[in-house]
Each structure stands twice: as structure tokens, then as C-alpha cells.
Amino acid sequence: MDSCSKLCAPDSSSSPFDCIIFDLDDTLYPTTNGISEALKKNIQVFLMEKCGFPQSKASSLRSELFRTYGSTLAGLRALGYDITAEEYHSFVHGRLPYQSIKRDIELHRLLLSIKQRKIIFTNSDRIHAMKVLNRLGISDCFQQIICFETMNPNLCNATRPDEFPVLLKPSPEAMKIALRAAQVDPRRSLFLDDNASNIAAGKAMGLHTVLVGKRGKSKEADYAVENVNQVAELIPEIWGCQPDGQDQRTVPTTKSEFDSRIPTTTTAAVGA
Ligand SMILES: [Mg+2]
């Protein structure tokens, strides 16, 4: 169903958004397919098998490292564990049940109906991102993938584990790297993510925000959708369907213009 065409005649030129930035995991597919749970389990096995932590500690340690450092890998490296990103990702992603991610024809149609630039912005590595996009059948819908490697280009050159901190959403530094890589004006970009802390970080950067997978909005979310496929119904502005404001687009064209639109403050992301 093309629900946008039911609402109005799409005209992205009158949309307030020049770019739509999508998180990947648990945003473009539902958490119910078991990937998220399998990932948690794999991380716990990694902590036991590669780092020697007892089974009784693995679950709480994973949660603690995520809360404190943004990811288990970030936490382990900050604590001095000499674990490479490749080693970590191949272990925790390599054994995921990707077959449980099903082709989403409705999502493919929805994405193709969005004429603006579409970007993936994920904390996951590129291999995982491509596998998920291919399973969903939407890998042809995006112009750019901003992923772990984008935010951490120097990690492989580190001479000790804590030389470069692992940067991931929702850290302001990671958000700035992503916005520079995307070269978008945050004030004319829409950012969808299932994580309220990431949404808060995006809002602090000036992005318009959509919390995905939740019934209610978080404080920093401009919109909330339970399922990404609901955006056509709930955010018709993407297609220029509610041109009730004056279109004051001032799209930056140089790197310095892009940089000038990214806040320089280091406002901490607010967790949910
Ligand atoms: Mg996510």
C-alpha cells in the first residue's frame, strides 16, 4: 500500500527535509525477529570465551559496559583489552540468525517513494549493515552508509587499546563525524532511531527526530512511530504533504558551511 499517495500528491520539493537518516538495527526491522536477543547472547559469549569473564558476570557486565562506554567493544578497549574491532564484530555478528530478517516489500516501496537522499547511520560495522540491508531487500535504497568504520577510521592504527576511544552514537563526537560525512544540514534532515539516547543526541545536533518502535515520544523526539512503515501515515511532511510553513531552505554548499551548522557544544545525550 502506498499510503502517502492516499494522503496527498507527493512533492518532495516542498518537504521540510532534504535528507532522511535511518538507524539500522531495530529501526528498519522489528525487535521481534530475535536478532537483538541473539546479539546480546553473542556478546556475553565473547566476554566469557575471549576475555575470561565468568558466565555469572557476563550479562551484567555487558549492560554496564554499554551504559558506561556506549558498547561492549568500546568498554573493553577503554579498560585495556586488546581486542580489534574486526575480531569483535566477526564474533558477535558472524553467528547471528540473519535468516530471521525477512524481505520487507512494503518498506522497499516506502523508501523508493522518498525522493530525498537517504542515509544509513548505524553503530554496526559495514559487513553487518550490508547483510541486513540485503536480507531486507532494501540495499538499493540508500545513497550512503555511515557505520562503525566511518566513526572510527583510526582504530586499526592504535598502538594500544585505549589510544583512540571507540566513537559511537550517542556521543556528540560521533554525531558530528556522521553529520560531516553526510554533509547534510541537520535543520533540514530527519533522523530515525529506536534508541532514545541517540534521538536526544540527534536533537542536540539540530536534527529533526523520530523515535521508532515505541508507543510514546521521548522528550527529544519530534515524532514517534511504532513501526518504520508508519512514517507515510504519521509524517507526511516527508513527501511535502503538509506545506504549512514557509520553505526557507538554505542548503549549505561548502564544508565550512556544513561545519558551521553543527553545534560546537558538547551537550551530553540524555538517556531514556
Ligand atoms: Mg538501533
What is the Å distance from ligand 1's center to 163 Cα?
27
Q: Which amino acid does the sequence have at 89?
A: H
Output DSSP code: residue 48.
Answer: H
What is the Å distance from ligand 1's center to 197 Cα?
11
- Which pLDDT score, from 0 to 100, does residue 9 have? 53
Please write the tens of the pLDDT for every residue from 212-227. Answer: 998 777 889 999 999 9
What is the Å distance from ligand 1's center to 252 Cα?
29
Please write the tens of the pLDDT for every residue from 5-16. Answer: 444 555 667 899
What is the Å distance from ligand 1's center to 55 Cα?
26
pLDDT less than 50: residues of the chain? 1-7, 243-254, 257-258, 261, 265-272
**CA max distance for the chain:** 59
Cβ contacts of 125 within 8 Å, gap of 6 or more: 85, 89, 93, 147, 148, 149
User: Distance between CA atoms of 82 and 85, rounded to whole angstroms?
Assistant: 10
What is the Å distance from ligand 1's center to 43 Cα?
16
What is the Å distance from ligand 1's center to 158 Cα?
27
What is the Å distance from ligand 1's center to 169 Cα?
10
Closest of 134, 87, 101, 115 to residue 35, by C-alpha: 101
What is the Å distance from ligand 1's center to 195 Cα?
6
